[in-house]
Amino acid sequence: MVAGYLGSLGVGEQTVNRSNAAKFLALVIAFLPGCTGLITRMPGYHLIDLAAVRIETVPSRDLFRESTAAPNAPPRTVLRFDVTSNHDLVDFFHDWILQLRCNLEGVPNGRPYSSFGYGALLKENERQKSARSVSAPKTPSNADAAHVYTLYAFVDLKAVDEDSVGWSSHVALETLQFDHISCYLIGVTKAPVLFPKSNAFSVTRQHFIELLQQSRLTEATPNHSVNTDAHRRGFAPWWSPVTLVR
């Protein structure tokens, strides 16, 4: 009698377990269609590729808000990144405050040298946030089309060195020893949720030093290709190195 009761109880438990497994499987199947959207918001999702990097001097208005940049502010030298994406990043980060964050990796002393980023993409994201009184409709984007964006970081070619008590200073990149610069895009909000974050792109210190040397060489070499029409007409100054064309 007892054995029969226990046997029937085992059969009942198996039935319940099978029923729970079936419900769980149905839940997973129903959840799968939304997985693509979730995965594309997961940290580290492959979103951007670095197409080019160089050192460039740009107007301050290209970096800072009009409200914070002085009207006659001098141009600033920065590290420029040209990145591509198969996504319209303004649309992709539509509901987030978009930031570019860069860090120095492989620093011997272990200090957290870093830089925030700038550029038209970030400004447009901020403009939409401030201008939107209600949720604006998203603009459909062609997932197969390549979008190109220009981003800037390390203003004056300096990294922020922030100590443990919150004080920060700016240190020239060329004076620091590090393995590479690593940057990524991230969407942030005040809500305690998972922030969408792109894959990181990087530039080695050796490449940065080569870019710096090339930039200085370009600055030291004057451009003698200007005013060629004056040379053809014989009005070039005596000190010009360009041979006159008669």
Q: What is the pLDDT of residue 166?
A: 66
Distance, in Å, from the CA atom of 183 to the CA atom of 89, rounded to the nearest integer, reads 16
The one-character DSSP state at 109 is T
CA distances from 111 to 100, 121, 163, 164 (A): 20, 29, 8, 10
pLDDT beyond 60 at 9: no
Is this prediction's pTM over 0.85?
A: no
Which pLDDT does position 69 carry in this prediction?
60
CA atoms of 239 and 167, how far apart (whole Å): 52
Cα 246 → chain centroid: 52
pLDDT, tens digit (0-9, with 9 covering 90-100), for 123-159: 988 888 766 433 333 444 444 558 999 999 999 999 9
Q: Are 83 and 53 in contact (CB under 8 A)?
A: no
- Looking at the chain, the whole-number percentage of residues with pLDDT higher than 90 is 44
Report the distance separating Cα 105 and Cα 113, nearest Å: 8
Question: Is residue 53 classed as helix, strand or coil in its secondary structure?
Answer: strand
Positions of E strands within the chain: 49-58, 76-85, 97-105, 113-118, 147-153, 158-162, 168-172, 180-188, 201-204
